Structure 1
Amino acid sequence: MFDTREEVLSLTKRLVSMESIVNTAGEKVIARSLYELISSFDYFEKNPDQVMLEQTINDHRERYNVLCFVKGTKKKSDRTVILFGHMDTVGVDDFNQLKELAFLPNELMEAFGEQDLPSPAQEHLTSGEWLFGRGALDMKSGLASHLYLMRYYSMHPDQLEGNLVFVSECDEEDGSNGILSSLKTLKRWKKEQQFEYVAAINADFVSSLYEGDENRYVYKGTVGKLLPSFFITGHESHVGAAFDGLDPNFLAAELTRQIEYNPELSNEALGETTIPPVSLKQTDLKPSYTVQTALSAYVYYNFFIHSWSPKDVLEKLKEHATIAFGNALELYEQRYRLFCEISGHPYRELPWKTRVMTYEEMEHQLIALHGAPFINHMHEFKEELAVDPDLDTRMFAARVVEEAWKWMDDKSPAMILFYSSLYSPRIEMSGKTEDERVLLSALDEAVEKIQPHYKHPIVTKNFFPYISDMSFLAMSDDLEGIEAVQNNNPSWGEKHFVDYQDIRDLNVPVINIGPYGMDAHAKLERLEIKYSMEIVPNLTNEVILNILNQPNE
């Protein structure tokens, strides 16, 4: 095994000290610093065209990726492994009075030493075997592990069969503009350098899955992530005549009750099951207080998938929305009848029926009804809306649906289902291709070799359970699944666009071997040094060698 601990630890602290909060100028600073560091390696001083600082494309912010490659000389081979990871972090407001120390691990841990931390953070702090700091776990230590290997093989290309590509991408914590931009360069290198991409290794953080879990997980493939959203209309009324109308918030509440935490919407594949959907936003769209009930409401949910496609999710959620709408009307009627009985008011039949449709279905209706005037109006509306840089894709999509709804002839209450954000595709690694089989075998062999050097079990699982840039290097969805995303995202082509063909063109099997720790995205973010600085780089190295030592066909 390589003696990696001190060098990877030093690199980690150096990277953590570079404040690189997503969507701030810090992303530019760390990219330039990392580029200068890599460029200073002897190999890249002699081969400056093999390292690059590249600005993202189709991005409203100025930020950069850092990419480089090392060509092995032990045996000529086009086989190439991609090492990648992100250099941005989430913010530090949660550190409160310690914000200034969030990116200075030594000083931060000294300050923590004067506080009474909750268990087990207190034990970790006093052990000397854990490193605290924003980005230390997520995921600058993983990036440092990759950097160690790139530096080593740049010094010893004679020990490498094939090639190593390194990608340090920005914007993973928000819109993944970094990795999506890097795909263009990876495709160009594939052609110019004749690279045969056979595997990709991410180094994002891993953590325990339940209290008392001692396993250190390595992941094959990744969960997919969608943001299904609903624009919900009711029938307005004065609050003094509440039963003259139907409050869209009432419909939204019943919809959330039907969807949130519902195991029927957990997706099982390869023996592993996703967490069910959870609400990330629920609001009405009233701009200010009035005594009129809201005209519309807006909700969206996190939705993880393993084997379902975006089209499958739309179909399932349409069914559940139909159930929720029916339940809401039934409950409304029960309460209305009871109110009429106790108040002496006459009862009238409710005029509303269950009504659920996708955005694509509504748009087809409106095009059939209004043709070119509707199409032109919506195009101009989107262009005007896109001028506002502070309007995120989720609210942009909601405003587009709200505007389209104004063109509906039948404005009776309805739920409109759509996607309002980036789709991070699922990757299902089942060994269906030769490259997948080689990677899976290489991983198993590496774990078997490295396990004796570490006391906790190193366990492989089939789906990385968090959102990550792994999603953008391979494609398990078919064309129909991707079209469901494009046709049902109202911001597509204006505020939001992903060239999924770039992903399909690369289609590299991907795994995650990352640092182990706790409380990512929280003030007590920390990593275990032994696993993160010693096991991770050596385990990654074994996988690389196992893959690149495969005979050329």
Structure 2
Amino acid sequence: MTIQHYGTAEQRKRLLTDLVAIASISESEGEKHFPDAVHSLLSQWEYYKTNPSHLYHGGRSGDEPFLSAHYYHSSHAKTLVFISHFDVVGIEDYGEYEPLAFSVDELTEAFARDAQQFSHAVQKDIQSGDYLFGRGTMDMKAGLTVHISLLEKAIANRWPMNIVLVTVPDEEVNSSGMRAAVGYLNHLKDKYKWVYSLFLNSEPVFTQKPDDENYYIYSGSIGKIMPGLLFYGKETHVGEPLAGISSNYMASFLMNHLELNDALREVVGAEKTPLPVSLYQKDLKQEYSVKTPYRTAPLFNVFLFKRSANEMFDIFQKEVHVATARLNETYRNLCEREQVEGVGNVQILDYEQLEAHAIKHHGEAKVADWKEEIYTRKDLNDREKSILTTDKLARHCNDLSPAIISFFAPPYYPAVYSEKTDEFMKMIDFIKAESERAHQLPVTNIQYFNGISDLSYVAYRDAGGDGWRAYEANTPVFGTSYTIPFHEMSQLQAPVLNIGPRGRDAHKKTERLHAHSAFVEVPFIIEQLIHNMMGEHSE
């Protein structure tokens, strides 16, 4: 048996500290270099010196900079996939502590010295000595630490199954890393004739309500989609307001109706998605003048459980029609009161209809050129590109105004969940029993991880149907600067599970990790699960 480097709680803590020290903020140089560091670490293991092809660095192969390491057992097809992300959110909120944000021990000591400035809940955790502070401790370098530790143990003890570790960038933004890793996972499956038995993520436990002390495991991950609207009005001089219609006036009706709209919430059993909110709203007028604004665009965050993109879009469009009917009635009554003709009713169409109208009147080549002008710009993100592409086509189709145009902007995280088969529920019951037996830790299983995760890009169920068609047709940048490999995702079929450590305040300067949970309890639970999958039992 080979000596392990990450087999104890203290060794895992040192590994986590080293991983956190790499400032892998999303879209930063640190994010690009993080997989180099992990690749260098794993390359020192005897197994990967002997089998260097079992390490894959996507960035060195012209792909997204994700990293994969696999352990291959030639006598077995059953395969477990570990999934994690290594990017973290920014550290601007740390203020005077910003230089220590990636130094776990130093920041934890500094917060202990200055504990009086924090809330009672944070002070309590500081005083307990149970928590480690630092950006990425909880979300989610602790999960990667556990995966590396267990991969090492599997290799050292020649566990009779295959294990793939995948750690990816960009989860906090667009999940480009995981979307790219889908193809590599299919490549491994086909090469070795593997059967994927479980996709296991280790995102941290998120509370369901304030002061929630329950420990959760999740048999799925919530979906997220971002519909948007372009309010395309008719400009006029402020001295003649009813000679046109302001896009801000149009937006006021729709925003009031759609924000926190219960019709866009989904309920499965006792679980409810959070209510929809707007994440962005902008008047597209660039300069000040006394001409009324006539182009405004908001984006909405809508969470999903089982609804497809098509189903959600149908509901969204229905609510848009409800609000627009009230807008048209109010505007019509106003024009009658003021004895002016006005500009008539605001019509509703989606991006697919807008693009078809533009092609009919200007030709396919011209529309393709307009779209290319925008999606090739390096100074814009995919959300801005989606808005500006819709705006560009609308401005060349001003015969449509006044109009409200629905579209999607990236990213899209399809909801994913495990079917409650007898076999899967036995697995959940086993986890609960082992956790209670060894650590007196009650485990609560809920269906959906509520923090959004890269599990969304495996076990996709609808590739044979058309549940994603509305997304493809109504996302202006789909197939150019943004894409989702729906068909490849559907080939990665296995149950999904999230087992991660406890912590608090993800994305805040008081982000912290419960050390015993991360370095003792979670590694034990996952190891016992693996032995159970192998048909073994280990104390």
Shorter-chain TM-score tier? over 0.9
42, 59, 73: which one aligns with 1:55: 59
Retained in 2: the 8 A contact 1:56–1:177? Answer: no
Q: Which amino acid aligns with 2:488?
A: D
Q: CA deviation at 1:524?
A: 0.5
Which residue in the other structure is 2:251 paired with?
252
Structure 2: how far apart are the matches of 1:270 and 1:483? 27
Indicate yes or no: 2:512 matched with 1:523. no
Indicate yes or no: 2:424 matched with 1:402. no
Which residue in the other structure is 2:418 paired with?
429
Retained in 1: the 8 A contact 2:243–2:343? Answer: no
Task: Render the CA deviation track for 1:380-405: whole Å, top value 9, x for unaligned.
Answer: 12222233212111111111111211
Q: CA deviation at 1:68?
A: 1.1
Which residue in the other structure is 2:447 paired with?
462
SS of aligned partner of 1:120: helix
20, 38, 42: which one aligns with 1:38: 42
Q: Which amino acid aligns with 2:127?
A: T
Indicate yes or no: 2:146 matched with 1:145. yes
Which residue in the other structure is 1:539 paired with?
525
Indicate yes or no: 2:499 matched with 1:513. yes
Q: 1:543 to 1:253 in 2, by over 3 A?
A: farther
Structure 2: how far apart are the matches of 1:322 and 1:145? 49
Q: CA deviation at 1:216?
A: 1.2
Which residue in the other structure is 1:117 paired with?
118
- More moved, 407-416 vs 496-505: 407-416
Q: CA deviation at 1:50?
A: 1.4
Indicate yes or no: 2:211 matched with 1:212. yes
Structure 2: how far apart are the matches of 1:169 and 1:208? 24
Which residue in the other structure is 1:343 paired with?
none
Q: CA deviation at 1:424?
A: 1.0
Q: 1:332 to 1:457 in 2, by over 3 A?
A: farther
The two structures have a TM-score, normalised by structure 2, of 0.93
Structure 2: how far apart are the matches of 1:238 and 1:512? 56
Q: CA deviation at 1:548?
A: 3.1
Q: CA deviation at 1:279?
A: 0.4
- More moved, 106-115 vs 415-424: 106-115
Structure 1: how far apart are the matches of 2:26 and 2:331? 45
Structure 2 counterparts to residues 75-90 of structure 1, below 5 A:
76-90=75-89
Q: CA deviation at 1:409?
A: 5.9
Q: CA deviation at 1:493?
A: 1.8
Q: CA deviation at 1:538?
A: 1.3
Retained in 1: the 8 A contact 2:220–2:417? Answer: yes
Q: CA deviation at 1:362?
A: 2.4
Q: Which amino acid aligns with 1:377?
A: K
Which residue in the other structure is 1:348 paired with?
340
Q: 1:390 to 1:451 in 2, by over 3 A?
A: farther
Structure 2 gap segments, 5+ residues each: 1-5
Indicate yes or no: 2:381 matched with 1:392. yes
Which residue in the other structure is 2:3 paired with?
none
Retained in 1: the 8 A contact 2:73–2:160? Answer: yes
Q: Which amino acid aligns with 2:134?
A: G
Retained in 1: the 8 A contact 2:346–2:403? Answer: yes
SS of aligned partner of 1:55: helix
- More moved, 165-174 vs 41-50: 41-50
Structure 1: how far apart are the matches of 2:333 and 2:422? 58
SS of aligned partner of 1:323: helix
Structure 1: how far apart are the matches of 2:58 and 2:482? 21
SS of aligned partner of 1:205: coil
Structure 1: how far apart are the matches of 2:213 and 2:57? 39
Which residue in the other structure is 2:320 paired with?
321
Structure 1: how far apart are the matches of 2:432 and 2:43? 32
Structure 2: how far apart are the matches of 1:437 and 1:53? 38
Task: Render the CA deviation track for 1:357-379: whole Å, top value 9, x for unaligned.
Answer: 11112223333x33xx4311121
Which residue in the other structure is 2:106 paired with?
107
Which residue in the other structure is 1:498 paired with?
484
The two structures have a TM-score, normalised by structure 1, of 0.91
Retained in 1: the 8 A contact 2:375–2:481? Answer: yes
SS of aligned partner of 2:58: strand
Structure 1 gap segments, 5+ residues each: 341-345
Q: CA deviation at 1:233?
A: 0.9
Structure 2: how far apart are the matches of 1:95 and 1:358? 42
Indicate yes or no: 2:220 matched with 1:221. yes
Retained in 2: the 8 A contact 1:266–1:277? Answer: yes
Q: CA deviation at 1:219?
A: 0.5
Q: 1:102 to 1:409 in 2, by over 3 A?
A: closer
Q: Which amino acid aligns with 1:130?
A: Y
Retained in 2: the 8 A contact 1:206–1:514? Answer: yes
Structure 1: how far apart are the matches of 2:534 and 2:252? 54
Q: CA deviation at 1:136?
A: 0.3
Structure 2 counterparts to residues 85-484 of structure 1, below 5 A:
85-115=84-114, 116-157=117-158, 160-333=159-332, 346-367=338-359, 369-370=360-361, 373-408=362-397, 410-431=399-420, 438-455=423-440, 457-478=442-463, 479-484=465-470
Structure 1: how far apart are the matches of 2:523 and 2:188? 25
Task: Render the CA deviation track for 1:285-315: whole Å, top value 9, x for unaligned.
Answer: 0011111111211011011111111111111
Structure 1: how far apart are the matches of 2:174 and 2:433? 36
SS of aligned partner of 2:221: coil
Retained in 1: the 8 A contact 2:343–2:402? Answer: no
Retained in 1: the 8 A contact 2:419–2:495? Answer: no
Indicate yes or no: 2:471 matched with 1:485. yes
Task: Render the CA deviation track for 1:17-47: whole Å, top value 9, x for unaligned.
Answer: 1111111111232211111111212222222
Retained in 2: the 8 A contact 1:280–1:302? Answer: yes
Which residue in the other structure is 1:17 paired with?
21
Q: Which amino acid aligns with 1:267?
A: E
Q: CA deviation at 1:456?
A: 5.0
Which residue in the other structure is 1:549 paired with?
535
Retained in 2: the 8 A contact 1:44–1:50? Answer: yes
Structure 1: how far apart are the matches of 2:165 and 2:506? 24
Retained in 1: the 8 A contact 2:237–2:290? Answer: yes
Structure 2: how far apart are the matches of 1:217 and 1:330? 49
Q: Which amino acid aligns with 1:13?
A: T
Structure 1: how far apart are the matches of 2:169 and 2:70? 18
Q: CA deviation at 1:190?
A: 1.1
Structure 2: how far apart are the matches of 1:482 and 1:508? 20
SS of aligned partner of 1:283: strand
Q: Which amino acid aligns with 1:5?
A: A
Task: Render the CA deviation track for 1:238-294: whole Å, top value 9, x for unaligned.
Answer: 122223221111221221111111222111124422112110011110011111111
Structure 1: how far apart are the matches of 2:348 and 2:223? 25
Q: Which amino acid aligns with 1:142?
A: G
Retained in 1: the 8 A contact 2:84–2:167? Answer: yes
C-alpha root-mean-square deviation of aligned residues, in Å?
Answer: 2.1
Structure 2: how far apart are the matches of 1:173 and 1:262? 26
SS of aligned partner of 2:367: helix
Q: CA deviation at 1:52?
A: 2.2
